[in-house]
Amino acid sequence: MTCPMFCYQCEQTSLGSGCTDFGVCGKEPEVSALQDLLIYQLEGMAFLGGKILERGQTIPSEVHRFVIDALFSTLTNVNFDPAFFFEQLKESARLKAELRTRAGEDVVEFPEAARYVLPADESAIQRDAFAVNIRSQAGENPDVQSLKDTLLYGLKGMAAYAYHARVLGYRDDAVTRYFYHGLSDLLDHQLTLADLTEKIMEFGRVNLRCMELLDRANTETFGHPEPTRARISRKKGPFIVVSGHDLHDLKMLLEQTAGTGVQIYTHGEMLPALAYPELKKYPHLAGNYGSAWQNQQREFASLPGCILMTTNCLMEPRPSYADRIFTTGVVGWPGIPHIPEREGRKDFSPLIQKALELGGWTEDEPELSIPIGFGRHAILERAGEIIEAVKSGAIRHFFLVGGCDGAKAGRNYYTEFAAQTPRDTVVMTLACGKYRFNRLDLGTIAGLPRLLDLGQCNDAYSAIQVALALAEAFGCSVNELPLTLVLSWYEQKAVGILLTLLSLGIQNIYLGPSLPAFISPNVLQFLVKQFHIHPISAPVQDMAAALS
């Protein structure tokens, strides 16, 4: 290797080309290497698993769980703890050996990733981690490598959705089997650009199925989100702030804090939880604190309460709050207390006790609130009124302005875009990108707020279903609707969502604030030509083009 690490899977990657000395996210080179070796192990396991599945045989559920959890753990801002990845790698070696036995074939002709045997000693594991190359075609064929990296990052995003669905007891065999198919494709050096393009479209279709699975898991467990005024001001008393995406963790915490006097606040992508009937029924779910993930180091600095990080979005905890932040699930940071799962249950008593000791805020703030909870169910209940408003000209255009937020310059574009939308247009939003403008009062239209919050990035399925329902009502394709998608991306779930949109044939997407570093110039040219993807420019210019 010529540099300590190489990672370019997120939007804020160094110089827009790749982190080579230290991750902008806070990832150390040693951890980056261990993650690469874990991906290499997963590719080998997937190849062996594919052989088993081809024969109509089954793979143990613990392997399925491991593949999904391990893949999710390598997503941006999830886990930074080398001890965690050493344990993951050792578990991968055990499961891989079992798969090799089950495969029952001569492994000599198998790819090296399937034949590789992890050493027992951690220093040897780290040496192998620095030596492994999961981008083996980058030199000989950068366009092929670009598409393979795109597929890998999409798979990471889908693993997050599958993880959230599974903890609620929901699984889909077709989605689970696809992880073996997709990961093993990364080892195939015979695949052409045409082959990989079709495989990426196939992934997009499978990811839609996975997104539907998660939507069903959430709505059947917690009810359909309801239009709700979410409190964004503080209340007196001890509290815990819950960040990340995991509704199941929030529900368990609400159950364990009932009657203790500890209030629960959502943060970041957990804001939409305040609209679910089975969560909002808890009176101590007090509201939302703070904004998007990239502001946590400032927002948590002097917090007189505890923080629970449930999924991705973790940044390096500052000393000012390192004694009051906890992780759970696949999330981790060295030295930060972790709440494990044991037989499907988590004991949050350390957080609760700490919150009570800290005491919380000493007085109430004047109540402030914002509207949330406009998932597909709430919007489609009003479909008749919306359709009439479009036919009468009261609604001229729909904009979906949403996606990931981040710290990199250029994201004020989305604030300006939303603020400048004409009053006869509707602005739908989702994911943490909404924090750029979700406190703006854009007024009402057709009896609805002109700004409709559809939920988390995990709720992108809701937005897709709204678009498909409108297209069906008007007897046209989504591309013929008065609808423009203006998306911001940061991490790998956004990659998966984009590939799903492309697999549905949706065109003329505006994407920013910068384009993915893993998209090669030739692949970008193909996407622009085939799907008319537009890099964002200036809000006024892009809006004029969309409305024309």
What pLDDT, on the 0 to 100 scale, is given for residue 447?
87
Predicted local distance difference test score (pLDDT) of residue 223: 98
* Helix ranges, 169-300 (H): 173-185, 193-222, 247-257, 277-280, 296-299
Those residues with Cβ within 8 angstroms of residue 202's Cβ, 6 or more apart along the chain or in another chain? 503
Measured CA to CA, the distance from residue 243 to residue 250 in angstroms comes to 9
Q: What residues are paired with 512 via a beta bridge? A: 488
Give residue 69's identity as a one-letter amino acid code.
D
Whole-number Å distance between alpha carbons of 326 and 354 = 11
Residue-wise pLDDT tens for the chain (548 aa)? 478 999 999 999 999 999 999 999 999 999 999 999 999 999 999 999 999 999 999 999 999 999 999 999 999 999 999 999 999 999 999 999 999 999 887 767 899 999 999 999 999 999 999 999 999 999 999 999 999 999 999 999 999 999 999 999 999 999 999 999 999 999 999 999 999 999 999 999 999 999 999 999 999 999 999 999 999 999 999 999 999 999 999 999 999 999 999 999 999 999 999 999 999 999 999 999 999 999 999 999 999 999 999 999 999 999 999 999 999 999 999 999 999 999 889 999 999 999 999 999 999 999 999 999 999 999 999 999 999 999 999 999 999 999 999 988 889 999 999 999 999 999 999 999 999 999 999 999 988 999 999 999 999 999 999 999 999 999 999 999 999 999 999 999 999 999 999 999 999 999 999 999 999 999 999 999 999 999 999 999 999 999 98
Query: What is the reported pLDDT for 109?
Result: 81
Taken in order 430, 434, 435, 439, the sign of the CA dihedral is: negative
* DSSP states of 106-175: -GGGS-HHHH----SSHHHHHHHHHH--S-TTTTT-HHHHHHHHHHHHHHHHHHHHHHHHHHTT---HHH
The token pair at 154 is 């999409």
| DSSP character at residue 455 | -
pLDDT at 410: 86
Residue 2: per-residue pLDDT:
72
| Strand order through the sheet with 425-429 | 451-453, 425-429, 397-403, 483-488, 510-512, 534-535
Query: What does the pLDDT read at residue 409?
Result: 82
- Residue bearing tokens 């203790």: 260
Tokens 């079709």, located at residue = 198
* Chain centre to alpha carbon of residue 377: 22
